[in-house]
Structure 1
């Protein structure tokens, strides 16, 4: 990000010396604050859009994708790349693959490993893992059955980066009888073994495909979305499943309370790091007892231990709500609201208390684009068009990536 000037160094020394003269008891938690992270060297503004941020478990390592060409020296204008910031205040690093664009970043909880997708000019896709400390990038070469091949899209990592969940598509060589749409696989970077995770239900009506949600810290559980690949068939065109590699069992997280078929789709699942909790978004109105006040999108939280399913409503129950992230212990959810309180909020599932995660400079709630919550719930990263709403002096007219420390 910004190069530190002599003036800044001098100011920092003065601040440090002043702090040494203060009593220890005066130290306390830092106030919540927002910074712009998609910034070029010297503090220059990005010349193109940035978005889709992800965070390490402690919120200190950040990755996102951007079309900007001036975030690092030598970048090619008009191409999409993944960028990683190894620590707060550290310079951005471009994550490049020769002859390809990069996207769909995912970080391990410890922040050391970054998974991402590449797409070559010949539309060949790859999944890679980068060691953030050494900048060494490894292209995975998983052995897939039925002539499936790695596809673009989201991947996910276990806490230490050993396990990588990724998507794969059928190819022209795939036998017709084996083509059941996109699949989810898990690759073990230690043993080199690949395991198929997703299987569409035997009673599935028509072609379906499965897509990566996330992986538990130890790699034993994977949540994924199962959807029709050729468009909705009726209103229930998406479901959420969790596969437990230890037991070999797969459970449906969006099952209704009375065993009836869901009347609408469920999508975008996320699994807590401890493997106890799933959050997903659903348009269904009959997953839990009672009337759905907004008859629209809501996040639902499924407890894999108690088998309890809970809907998250906004304080104004008719507002539309959707979730994007879940804390590592499953106790907090980052979700968005519509209406007068539009913005991103962190819901404490134990107390029911909401904390505004995306305030403007004036403290009012602000709507944003994509967002992510760190596993320890200390930090939120989000993208948004900014005209000085979140930080002063932002005038580039492009979506940027912001990081807010909540505590």
Structure 2
């Protein structure tokens, strides 16, 4: 196992959660976000595309809206706009501001109760956990100067993150926090600070992570307390994309191709000449960006049927947790002004595409 030492130690930590930091909770009913239906999709099916980064009164945000992560059932979406973190409940139309000043796009738990993001606090970075019910965020008591790149389990109980050690930073480790039990597990240590982010399964059993220097992807199993050999094989270089919520599939990039690794069989399905971006919670649908930029910017592939559906023809991007179960919804961001009517703010917006 190159560049990895499996420490898998568990220890009690004092104060796993810091004092609650109220983030000016905002609960409002949205009178209606801008939406449009593609010509080839029937409205009665519930399919189409909708802009979700809108203000409480349904008007446009004036600043850039970015990110976008969706729950397993497609009910809730988290995104950031104008240095604020928002959670939106689609059926009720409620929008809550649950945090501020995210460094990167927030992620969401499968049930939509929690979102996680990281912030700069003086010279250090810290992970915060935002809750829908409370409408506020709490700081995770990371025992390192810098903690970042969180990934949440289905109920938000387990938080996988990167802890960077030293000032200036010289090494890092992959941690999993159980903040209900106030415990932490250290999965791996690296003697470098090349990107090495984690992705956790819905039940918290599996964590996929990468060694950004050695270009390896590993899979840790809580039940067995063990870490796999590099899943891409010893002769390849790989970059982690995402572990599916059910823990059945690991998506990684290698060369110009994307691979979907089956945890049970140990085999990988190759999707050539595309950049994988996210996988749905069941491991059955892959969101990707074609390497050929003359066509659609985002495509959703049914891995079982081998069929594709266009998510966006206009330039767009998406991150992990962007697809709901079964590929029913996909959330993405774009600066294009012609995705929905009335988009005149000239900034990046967040959209959700629904399929019938």
* The two structures share one fold, judged by TM-score above 0.5: yes
Q: How much has 1:210 moved relative to structure 2? A: 5.5
Gaps of 5+ in 1: 9-27, 68-79, 201-205, 229-236, 284-296, 314-319, 359-364
Answer yes or no: is 1:217 the counterpart of 2:202: yes
Answer yes or no: is 1:66 the counterpart of 2:81: yes
Q: How much has 1:213 moved relative to structure 2? A: 3.2
Number of the residue aligned with 1:250 = 227
Q: 1:196 aligns with which of 183, 186, 191?
A: 186
- Check 1:305–1:163 CA distance in 2 against 1; reply closer, same or farther (3 A cut): same
Which entry has the higher C-alpha Rg, 1 or 2?
1
Give the Cα separation in 2 of the matches to 1:347 and 1:3: 32
Give the Cα separation in 1 of the matches to 2:324 and 2:243: 13
Give the Cα separation in 2 of the matches to 1:111 and 1:29: 26
Task: Provide the secondary structure at the position in 1 that maps to 2:337.
Answer: coil
Answer yes or no: is 1:268 the counterpart of 2:269: no
Q: 2:258 aligns with which of 292, 299, 307?
A: 299
Alignment deviations for residues 208-253 of structure 1 (CA, whole Å, 9 cap, x no partner): 546333111110110112112xxxxxxxx52211111111221245
Give the Cα separation in 1 of the matches to 2:133 and 2:30: 21
Answer yes or no: is 1:149 the counterpart of 2:145: yes
- What is the correspondence of 1:107-122 to structure 2 with a 5 Å cutoff? 107-120=108-121, 122=122
User: Is the Cα contact below 8 Å between 1:210 and 1:224 reproduced in 2?
Assistant: no
Task: Provide the secondary structure at the position in 1 that maps to 2:57.
Answer: helix
User: Is the Cα contact below 8 Å between 2:109 and 2:154 reproduced in 1?
Assistant: yes
* Richer in strand (by share): 2
Q: 1:366 aligns with which of 314, 331, 340?
A: 314
Answer yes or no: is 1:350 the counterpart of 2:304: yes
Question: Looking at both structures, which has the greater relative contact order when contacts are Cα pairs under 8 Å and sequence separation is at least 6?
Answer: 2
Gaps of 5+ in 2: 1-27, 34-42
Give the Cα separation in 2 of the matches to 1:160 and 1:87: 19
Number of the residue aligned with 1:126 = 126
Alignment deviations for residues 2-47 of structure 1 (CA, whole Å, 9 cap, x no partner): 8539xx9xxxxxxxxxxxxxxxxxxx97242111111123332221
Give the CA RMSD over aligned residues.
2.6
User: Is the Cα contact below 8 Å between 2:241 and 2:252 reproduced in 1?
Assistant: yes
Q: How many residues align?
A: 318
Q: 1:383 aligns with which of 333, 336, 339?
A: 333
Q: How much has 1:101 moved relative to structure 2? A: 4.7
Number of the residue aligned with 1:105 = 106
- Check 1:199–1:310 CA distance in 2 against 1; reply closer, same or farther (3 A cut): farther
- Check 1:253–1:269 CA distance in 2 against 1; reply closer, same or farther (3 A cut): farther
User: Is the Cα contact below 8 Å between 1:158 and 1:216 reproduced in 2?
Assistant: yes
- Check 1:249–1:42 CA distance in 2 against 1; reply closer, same or farther (3 A cut): same
* Richer in helix (by share): 1
